[in-house]
Amino acid sequence: MNGCFHLKPGLTREPKWGHLRDLHKAIKSSEAALVSAYPTVTSLGSKQEAHVFKSKSGACAAFLANYDTRYSVKVKFGNGQYDLPRWSISILPDCKTAVFNTAKIGAHSSKKAMVPVNSAFSWQSYTEQSPTADDREATVHNGLWEQIYLTRDASDYLWYMTDVKIDPNEGFLKGRQGPILTVWSAGHALHVFTNGQLSGTVYGGLDNPKLTFSNNVKLRAGINRISLLSVAVGLPNVGTHFETWNAGVLGPVTLKGLNEGTRDISKQNWSYKIGLKGEALNLHTVTGSSSVEWVQGSQLVKKQPMTWYKTTFNAPRGNEPLALDMSSMGKGQVWINGQSIGRHWPGYIARGSCGACDYAGTYTDKKCRTNCGEPSQRWYHVPRSWVKPSGNLLVVFEEWGGDPSRIALVKRTATA
C-alpha cells in the first residue's frame, strides 16, 4: 500500500514464509529435470494438465495442475492417483511423489502477539525550524525546479520558498476569507506554510503520487512568505522510463481571490533549501542530539508537526524479535543508535474493500485485502544487533504531529 519505502530486514511471517520455503525446496529438488528439457504437456481432465520434464540422464519432474476454481479432483498420472485441490499445482520432483501443493499449507502456524516490554519512554522534544529568508544554504532559481534534480537524493525533503507582496487595498483584508493558494505537485507529500504557520498537508497515493493543495490561506498587507516542504517517499526503480519520473512542486502555483483575480507565482524567484535543520545537525546521533536545547515534562511538544523527539532505553531481556509500535504517530523517520529503521507512516490508511477471501482464480491486487481503514503499517522492526544492553538512543522525526507518549517497544511472542 505504501509505494516505494525504505525497507529493513523484517520478521518472518508464518505460514507464508514457510509455505514459500517449501515451494523453493520442491523446485530445487526438480532442478535437474527442469533445466534439461522443455515440458511435455498432457491432459488429465477437462481442466487438469500434467507438465512433465525429463532429462537424457533419466531425471524426471512433474507439475500436476488443476485449473478448476470450484472443484477438487482426483487424477491418474503414471502408476498413481493424486488429489488436486481446486486451483492448485502439485510438484512431483521424481514424477512419483507429490512433495508440495500450492493450496495445502504444510508450514507450522502459531499465534503471534506483540507484547510491550518497557515502561513509558521519557521523551524530550525539539521543534524543527523553517528556513529564514537570509538562510545562507538556500539557493535562488527562477521558477520551479524538479526535486530529485536538486536534492540528488541527499534528503527526502526540499523547501520551496517565495515572497508574495499584498497591497493594503486588497479586498480580502477587510474581513473576507483569505485568497485560495493552489499548489500542483508531482508528489509524494507536501506541507504548506504561510508566514511560518502550517496551512495544510496533502499527499499522493500508490496509484497516483501526484497531489494538489488548494485552500484559503491567511495573508497580511506587505511581504508574506510562502514555504512549501516537499517530501519524496523513496525513488522508483521499476517501470517504463522510471528515471524520467518526477517529484516535487512543478506548478503551477497560484493565488486566487486577489483584486487582480488570480496571480500565478510559479515563474517568480524561488529559494530552495535541501533537507531539514535537524538533518544537518545530525540530531539522530548522540553527538548531534547534544547540539540543541530539548524540552521535556510539561513543555514537551505533542501533536505538533515538524517535531523531533528523543529518548533512551535499555535492551529487554530475551532474544525475541523487537519492534516499535508507532500507531500514535503520523509520518516521519525513526533511528536507533544513529541507524535508520526506516520511514514510519501510520497516518497512511489502507483503503479499499475488505471482504470474503477466496484464493482460487486469477490474482489481482484487489483480492483478499485485509485491515482496510487501518494504518498500512503499525510495527517497525528493531534489529537486536543494533541494540546495546543499556543507554540506547531512540530518535523520531514527526512531520504531521503525533503523540510520542504512546510509542511502545514490543517483543513478538509466538504460541502454538
In this structure, are residues 109 and 14 in contact, taking their beta carbons and an 8 Å threshold? yes
Q: Residue 374 is part of a domain; what is its CATH number?
A: 2.60.120
**Total number of domains constituting the chain:** 3
What is the tens place of the pLDDT at every residue in 7-63? 445 567 788 889 999 999 999 999 999 999 999 999 999 999 999 999 999 999 999
What is the tens place of the pLDDT at every residue in 276-293? 999 999 999 999 999 999
**Does residue 313 share a domain with residue 364?**
yes
Phi, psi of 384 (to 5 degrees): -60, -30
The reported pLDDT for the residue numbered 376 is 84
**β-strands 222-231, 60-66: how paired?**
unpaired
**Does residue 62 share a domain with residue 25?**
yes
pTM here is 0.83
Domain presence at residue 216: yes
In this structure, are residues 182 and 212 in contact, taking their beta carbons and an 8 Å threshold? yes
CA dist list (Å): 327 to 118, 169, 180, 374: 16, 47, 33, 10
Given 275, 304, 330, the domain boundary residue is 275
Alpha carbons 389 and 366: distance in angstroms, whole number:
44
**Does residue 118 share a domain with residue 34?**
no
The reported pLDDT for the residue numbered 403 is 95
**Does residue 357 share a domain with residue 239?**
no
Domain presence at residue 146: yes
CA dist list (Å): 76 to 68, 207, 257: 16, 45, 77
Domain presence at residue 1: no
The reported pLDDT for the residue numbered 15 is 86
